[in-house]
């Protein structure tokens, strides 16, 4: 096992990986930008080194500086998390060249799967079905190909993933702007503006399989995740298993996922993403050669700690479990909580978290990188927490999620918690009737039937809030006051007329 | 203490006082609520009204309030009576001149309008990149662009004036 | 199912039960004393009513007032939690007489199991082995019996449980004081000062079986919990399953537990407690006719939500699971976190919780009744949280617990977190070599080998703390400062000499 | 700024200053630590010392400090130099007259000693009930009881003087 590991990331995933290392008794080295001196991952790690100014291109993406910190601190492994350098084959190679283990797949596998067009060809050869699409082309050829394939089409960044550098194009006149926007986001997120075009499968489900593979040729899958609930091609709610997958489809897709991993000569944890249409045809979409944001839901239904498995695999151990040992137990959901205002077009809402109360009790898991008093910086992804729930059934997992979201208090910034609460009550979601266009088509973020009565409660609160500010206002008891008023209330006549 | 709430164009009187028994009473229009209220955490109010317990989360900026309670949210303004009177003379509505500002620092990616352009409600005005995402600022109403305060490529602070629509 | 349920309790267990009700979509009514207006259970419940002044005998134990609140608020069920009125047959009867369902067993079953001497007789008739002991006697007869049975003996309150009103007596001269102290605690905790004496089984393990029984004669068990780690006869760390129980013993003890429940005509959730000696003989100790503090560890290894099952059973539903459907998955641990100073004889440490950071990530569950800004009152039990972890193995559960305890930040009051951290590193604990005398015999709360280096870090911190207070002190950057100092550090020569 | 720590009877000099590069330095005896320190949460210090990251929890009451770091705890006193000098003249040790006080409100269940009694270290003095538990207050040293400040059955506030041992 590793003597010491450097975590080349920040936020919740850095904290997740430090937790895994603590449980494996591996000392950890954090790196941080100047904007992140007070970040949780810096406080949790055993060592911490600043690697540059706030913009990630000047800090978290500076490969030689990170490798230098690893060497100087004596780390013999680097885990890249997701995003940043996680799917950068140059970085994986640089680690190897410096005698440091890259805790992920081989540079060759990253490169093959990272270039979406090469990945498509590899999959076609391995008889895994793919969606019709183009190679990398310049703007004019892309625009022409879009017409040939037939709208709607998707413009996608060759590098990276996670919904960035992607644009859907419904009609010809949008093509130029979509290519520009995708290139611009791809450039700023991955440092590579190459894009290609794919047929856009309408009303698909996005279903992915979690893979674990060791360096000795053993490959298993840990079942599927349903990731159809997306905003701007970014997953926001995931679950495992999927209601759309029965035993037969699970077996066939699982086999295809394992074949895909074998075709890529893959080791480490990875994810094979598929689109599934309404006729249960599935198409290879891409392979993510890293730990996924949504890995916790798979951990909750299988009991396998995927992050810890990555460290074991990278240190050369064989998989401790065989395919037939992997069992599925219950149902798990994840809601990604962003520092965004759901009632104002999901505008980012950075700032200081003044109060934080994380839900607890049975079947609840919170993965977050923040704390009360922490300032969510402007420079990075606005995801601040992943809230997961487990239940014996999908219904129980949903009931728990509603309960847990209701308990979650994050003050000082606006978050997407109210959005998730609405999804958890949406009849289509409850019925499992979800596709990647769910949010556009089947979801309205409106005040519900109980709104009228609660409006008065909100006006009462605002009036008391105003009173706190001014001497003229009628004062409200603070925390330390005696409860005598409340006690007298027992004998009072009802006046609540709502 | 008297207030006026402006909710979706509607004006609602809200009054706070102590009744002869010394209990705290909030009256909304003609509905009286005897309230047991505690600020248990910063801007988090525990309210008990005739046995019903509410945990209310309020986010206030000057006279604007965002309230979250039991999964529902309410955005409105609340003025004290004197201020409401002054505002009333000047027109309490939110129509008229609209200043579109950034809520946070970011980079101006594209300016979609020029001074003198006619826009409809919901038309895109400016695309701003912040926190790695591009966000399109939309017009809150139909009108004419009377000012454009930024240029493409510019980096702006939070609160920067982008566009004025009249 | 219930229309509305009143929770006749406070603290973490009231919050736990409100969570269960939320997941079952049952509106809840909280009751609170004047000291608890700001308590979490008041804020979480749908309705809340004050039932009296801070001392529990004037509020949480006033039966007719609680029943009156239930009637006035329209609640058709009352859940008593644990402690307070949970094992009071008079209260259970009073609920029934008022047409309100007591969410627990029948008054007759509570009464039978509540009187330890009657319970012993019932068990003997049902061929469940019991520990030698006396009936209820006056002080002089008790003192005489103690001599007859032979020291060491245990003085135990006839009512209640949970370690209160219990005293161990090693030699004759301690007898009088032990009886006095036990009676005094029993009186103040349960309102009944009757005590009896039992042979004290030396170096026993305390192992208990979780029972679920419906009103239709179905009784199952959910395996055992190991509860040997105790302080002052109060459980502080529990786990499930137990290392001392193999498949054969599990089957025999499970059958005895089911027989015990049947002999008592029991329904609802309940726990049959056994002492297990070093020869694997087991003796019936008592049956707890309520939800136990430590129920989460069983929930974590079986996936069964015991609290929710209690509501279902009380509403007349049949058990949804049969004995053969109950499976054991992994290992779970619970550490009870008290507002006590472990380095000062575990003196209670009430006060305001200034900062709270609850651990998260995989396999962690926190059940607590507190929040940042909450004042832990003087009047009640000092347990503020139950931290549980799950792992595929006992080792993984322990590694997670160490990791989670290390993350837990509770400031403003002293807690037993450092105590638990020490237990998790104790070699006897790691080996599973634990009995009820573990803390007295095998555990030392001393500073470990790393202490010397960390002492300098603690002195550095105190010096910086002093500097914050005075203008003369050298100032330290606050949270919002730029990270430039840290960034410059990159080029600095090593001066850390530890 | 100079301090003196008293740890288990030992006196340890601690000095805080900025070095010529402007870095914050804390010197403990002859060991110099260049520290990057942030109070990230109330009394919770994030310390980075030559790359090693510590999260240190400190609980201070006047000059007494309880520090928790990486699962270890340290109790000690820290005085600034002037105070240490004054204390030194008066004897910095913790022997001598010991006042036994309650840390919290509670009820006196039993008083086990009377004025004039001789006690050994660890002998029980008073049993106090608080938070439903009976706690025995023990003598921190051998000596003579010179004062008993409470009677059985009495309810006392936090900090009440129970017994004086000399």
Burial A60-73 (b: 16+ CB within 10 A, else e): bbbbebbbebbeeb
Q: Which of A167, A205, A225, A290 is catalytic?
A: A290
Give the pLDDT confidence score for residue A480 in this predicted structure: 35
User: Pairing relation of β-strands C383-391 and C331-338?
Assistant: antiparallel
Give the pLDDT confidence score for residue A489 in this predicted structure: 32
| Minimal CA separation from C51 to chain A, in Å | 7
CA–CA dist B101, B78 (Å, integer): 22
Contact A473 B5 (CB under 8 A): no
Tell me which residue in C25, C407, C483 faces A50 most closely, judged by beta carbons: C483
| Minimal CA separation from A275 to chain C, in Å | 28
CA–CA dist D35, D52 (Å, integer): 10
Distances (CA, A) of B128 to A122, A338, B157: 38, 18, 11
CATH architecture of B2-80: 2-Layer Sandwich (3.30)
Contact at 8 Å (CB) between B29 and B15?
no
Residue A477 pLDDT exceeds 80: no
CA–CA dist C233, C249 (Å, integer): 25
If one compares D68 and C445, the residue with the highest pLDDT of the two is D68
Contacts of B41 in chain C (CB under 8 A): 371-373
Contact A30 D53 (CB under 8 A): yes
User: Pairing relation of β-strands D72-80 and A101-102?
Assistant: unpaired
Give the pLDDT confidence score for residue C483 in this predicted structure: 34
Q: Does B90 touch chain C (CB under 8 A)?
A: no
**Domain range enclosing A157:** 132-199
Same-domain pairing of A81 and A141: no
Give the count of beta carbons closer than 10 Å to the beta carbon of residue D61. Answer: 7
Tell me which residue in C164, C347, C464 faces D37 most closely, judged by beta carbons: C464
The structure tokens listed for A34 are 């100047």
Residue C115 lies in a domain: no
Contacts of C32 in chain A (CB under 8 A): 483, 486
Contact at 8 Å (CB) between D156 and D118?
no
Give the pLDDT confidence score for residue A93 in this predicted structure: 98
Give the pLDDT confidence score for residue D92 in this predicted structure: 44
Contacts of B42 in chain C (CB under 8 A): 373
Residue A485 pLDDT exceeds 70: no
For A492, name the nearest residue in chain B, comparing CA atoms only.
B50
Tell me which residue in A36, A372, A484 faces C372 most closely, judged by beta carbons: A372
Give the pLDDT confidence score for residue A34 in this predicted structure: 96
Contact A47 D53 (CB under 8 A): yes
Give the pLDDT confidence score for residue A490 in this predicted structure: 33
CA–CA dist B128, B149 (Å, integer): 13
Give the count of beta carbons closer than 10 Å to the beta carbon of residue A150. Answer: 10
If one compares C444 and A497, the residue with the highest pLDDT of the two is C444
- Reduced to 3 states (helix: H, G, I; strand: E, B; else coil), residue A145 is helix
Contact D78 C467 (CB under 8 A): no
DSSP string covering A390-451? EESSHHHHHHHHHHHHHH-EEESS--SHHHHHHHHT-HHHHTT---TTHHHHS------TTH
Tell me which residue in A30, A37, A44 faces D38 most closely, judged by beta carbons: A37
Give the pLDDT confidence score for residue C160 in this predicted structure: 63
CA–CA dist C408, C401 (Å, integer): 10
Give the pLDDT confidence score for residue C468 in this predicted structure: 81
CA–CA dist A17, A80 (Å, integer): 10
The structure tokens listed for C290 are 């309520």
Give the rounded distance of the alpha carbon of C495 from its chain centre. 48
Tell me which residue in A304, A360, A483 faces C50 most closely, judged by beta carbons: A483
Contact C43 B46 (CB under 8 A): yes
Q: Which residue has 């009156």 as its token pair?
A: C68
Same-domain pairing of A227 and A318: yes
Q: Does A38 touch chain C (CB under 8 A)?
A: yes
Give the count of beta carbons closer than 10 Å to the beta carbon of residue B120. Answer: 10
Same-domain pairing of A328 and A210: yes
| Minimal CA separation from A189 to chain C, in Å | 24
Residues in chain A: 498
- Reduced to 3 states (helix: H, G, I; strand: E, B; else coil), residue D57 is strand
If one compares A199 and A495, the residue with the highest pLDDT of the two is A199
pLDDT, averaged per 10 consecutive residues of chain B (166 residues), comes to: 87 93 94 92 87 93 89 88 65 62 79 88 82 75 87 82 87
CA–CA dist A269, A407 (Å, integer): 33
Contact B74 A447 (CB under 8 A): yes
Give the pLDDT confidence score for residue C437 in this predicted structure: 87
Give the pLDDT confidence score for residue C476 in this predicted structure: 53
Contact at 8 Å (CB) between A189 and A268?
no
Same-domain pairing of A66 and A158: no
Contact C47 B51 (CB under 8 A): yes
Residue A479 lies in a domain: no
Contacts of C494 (CB under 8 A, 6+ apart): D50
CA–CA dist A392, D71 (Å, integer): 36
D-contacting chains (≥3 CB pairs under 8 Å): A, C
| Minimal CA separation from D67 to chain C, in Å | 6
Contact D53 A45 (CB under 8 A): yes
A-contacting chains (≥3 CB pairs under 8 Å): B, C, D
CATH architecture of D95-165: Beta Barrel (2.40)
Contacts of C177 in chain D (CB under 8 A): none
Same-domain pairing of C282 and C392: yes
| Minimal CA separation from C37 to chain B, in Å | 9
Same-domain pairing of C37 and C180: no
Residue contacts between A and D (CB atoms, under 8 Å): 35
Residue C104 pairs with which residues in a beta bridge? none
DSSP string covering C33-62? EGGGTT-HHHHHSSEEEEEESSSGGGTTT-
Contact C45 B51 (CB under 8 A): no
Contact at 8 Å (CB) between D2 and D13?
yes
**Does this complex have an ipTM over 0.95?**
no
Of D38, D43, D53, which to mutate for an interface test with A (greatest number of A Cβ within 10 Å)?
Answer: D53
Give the pLDDT confidence score for residue B143 in this predicted structure: 86
Give the pLDDT confidence score for residue A476 in this predicted structure: 53
Same-domain pairing of C51 and C162: no
CA–CA dist A445, B115 (Å, integer): 33
Give the pLDDT confidence score for residue A161 in this predicted structure: 65
Q: What are phi and psi of C174, to 5 degrees?
A: -85, -10
Residue A90 pLDDT exceeds 60: yes
Q: Does D142 touch chain C (CB under 8 A)?
A: no
Same-domain pairing of C190 and C336: no
Sign of the Cα torsion D16, D17, D18, D19 reads negative
Residue C495 lies in a domain: no
pLDDT, averaged per 10 consecutive residues of chain C (498 residues), comes to: 98 98 98 96 96 96 97 98 96 98 97 88 91 83 88 85 81 90 87 88 92 97 97 93 96 96 96 92 94 98 98 96 95 97 88 93 97 92 96 98 96 94 94 90 69 86 85 44 33 28
Contact at 8 Å (CB) between D141 and D121?
yes
Band of the pLDDT at D17, cuts 50, 70, 90?
Answer: very high
For A187, name the nearest residue in chain B, comparing CA atoms only.
B132
| From A119-128, A248-257, C56-65, the region with the lowest mean pLDDT | A119-128
Q: Measured in Å, how far apart are chain B's first and last C-alpha atoms?
A: 35
Q: Is A394 a catalytic residue?
A: no
User: Residue D129, exposed/middle/buried by CB under 10 A (0-12, 13-18, 19+)?
Assistant: middle
Q: Do chains B and A touch (3 or more CB pairs under 8 A)?
A: yes
Identify the CATH number of the domain in which residue A47 sits.
3.40.50.20
Give the pLDDT confidence score for residue D132 in this predicted structure: 66
Write out B25-74 in H/E/C secondary structure: EEEECCEEEEEEEEEEECCEEEEEECCEEEEEEEEEECCEEEEEECCEEE
If one compares C184 and A99, the residue with the highest pLDDT of the two is A99
Contact A380 B47 (CB under 8 A): no
Residue A22 pLDDT exceeds 90: yes
Residue C145 lies in a domain: yes
Residue A493 lies in a domain: no
Same-domain pairing of A48 and A166: no
Residue C487 lies in a domain: no
CA–CA dist C56, C73 (Å, integer): 21
The rounded mean pLDDT for chain A is 90
Summarize pLDDT for A414-438 with one digit per residue, the tens.
999 999 999 999 999 999 999 998 9
Q: What are phi and psi of B52, to 5 degrees?
A: -75, 130
Residue at which a domain ends, from C103, C122, C150: C103
CA–CA dist A433, A244 (Å, integer): 9
Give the pLDDT confidence score for residue C249 in this predicted structure: 97
Alpha helices in C37-174 (DSSP H): 40-44, 63-73, 89-97, 107-114, 116-125, 139-149
Same-domain pairing of C136 and C174: yes
Contacts of D103 (CB under 8 A, 6+ apart): C341, C344, C347, C348, C349, D158, D159
Domain boundaries, chain B: 2-80, 95-165
How many structural domains is chain C composed of?
3
């Amino acid at each position: 096992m590793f003597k010491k590991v450097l975590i080349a990331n920040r936020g919740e995933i850095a904290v997740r990986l430090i937790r895994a290392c603590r449980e494996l008794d591996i000392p950890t080295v954090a790196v941080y930008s100047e904007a992140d001196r007070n970040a949780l991952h810096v406080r949790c790690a055993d060592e911490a080194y600043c690697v540059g100014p706030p913009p990630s291109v000047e800090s978290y993406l500076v490969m030689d500086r990170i490798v230098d910190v690893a060497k100087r601190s004596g780390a013999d492994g680097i885990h890249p998390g997701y995003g940043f350098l996680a799917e950068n084959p140059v970085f994986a190679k640089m680690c190897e060249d410096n005698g440091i283990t890259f805790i992920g797949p081989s540079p060759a596998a990253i490169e093959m799967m990272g270039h979406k067009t090469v990945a498509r060809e590899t999959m076609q050869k391995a008889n895994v079905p793919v969606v019709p699409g183009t190679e990398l082309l310049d703007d004019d050829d892309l625009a022409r190909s879009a017409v040939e394939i037939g709208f709607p089409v998707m413009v996608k960044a060759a590098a990276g993933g996670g919904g960035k550098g992607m644009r859907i194009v419904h009609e010809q006149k949008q093509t130029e702007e979509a290519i520009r926007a995708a290139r611009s986001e791809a450039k700023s997120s991955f440092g590579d503006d190459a894009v290609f075009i794919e047929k856009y499968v309408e009303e698909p489900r996005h279903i992915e399989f979690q893979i674990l593979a060791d360096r000795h040729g053993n490959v298993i899958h840990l079942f599927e995740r349903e990731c159809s609930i997306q905003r701007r091609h970014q997953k926001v709610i995931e679950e495992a298993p999927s209601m759309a997958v029965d035993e037969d489809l699970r077996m066939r897709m699982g086999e295809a996922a394992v074949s895909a991993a074998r075709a890529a000569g893959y080791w480490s944890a990875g994810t094979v993403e598929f689109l599934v249409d309404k006729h249960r045809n599935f198409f290879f979409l891409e392979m993510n050669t890293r730990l996924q944001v949504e890995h916790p839901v798979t951990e909750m239904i299988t009991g396998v700690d995927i992050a810890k498995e990555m460290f074991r695999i990278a240190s050369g151990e064989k998989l401790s479990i065989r395919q037939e040992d992997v069992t599925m137990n219950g149902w798990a959901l994840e809601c990604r909580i962003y520092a965004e205002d759901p009632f104002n077009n999901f505008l980012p809402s950075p700032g200081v978290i003044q109060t934080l109360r994380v839900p607890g009790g049975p079947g609840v898991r919170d993965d977050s990188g923040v704390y009360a008093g922490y300032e969510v910086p402007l420079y990075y992804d606005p995801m601040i927490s992943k809230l997961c729930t487990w239940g014996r059934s999908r219904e129980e997992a949903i009931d728990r999620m509603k309960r847990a979201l209701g308990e979650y208090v994050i003050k000082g910034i606006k978050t997407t918690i109210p959005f998730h609460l609405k999804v958890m009550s949406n009849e289509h979601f409850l019925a499992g009737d979800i596709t990647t266009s769910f949010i556009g088509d089947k979801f309205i973020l409106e005040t519900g039937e109980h709104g009228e009565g609660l409006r008065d409660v909100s006006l009462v609160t605002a009036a008391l809030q105003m009173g706190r500010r001014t001497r003229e206002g009628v004062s409200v008891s603070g925390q330390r006051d005696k409860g005598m008023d409340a006690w007298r209330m027992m004998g009072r006549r009802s006046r609540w007329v709502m | 203490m008297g207030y006026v709430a402006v909710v979706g164009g509607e004006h609602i009187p809200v009054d706070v006082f102590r009744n002869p028994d010394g209990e705290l009473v909030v009256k909304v229009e003609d509905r009286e609520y005897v309230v047991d209220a505690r600020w248990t955490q910063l801007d988090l109010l525990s309210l008990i009204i005739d046995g019903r317990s509410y945990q209310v989360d309020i986010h206030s900026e000057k006279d604007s309030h965002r309230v979250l309670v039991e999964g529902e949210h309410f955005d409105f303004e609340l003025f004290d009576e004197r201020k409401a009177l002054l505002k009333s003379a000047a027109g309490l509505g939110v129509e008229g001149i609209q200043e579109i500002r950034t809520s946070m620092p970011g980079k101006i990616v594209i300016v979609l309008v020029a001074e003198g352009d006619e826009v409809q409600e919901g038309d895109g005005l400016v695309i701003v990149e912040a926190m790695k995402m591009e966000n399109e600022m939309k017009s809150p109403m139909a009108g004419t662009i009377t000012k454009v305060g930024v240029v493409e490529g510019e980096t702006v602070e939070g609160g920067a004036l982008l566009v004025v629509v009249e």
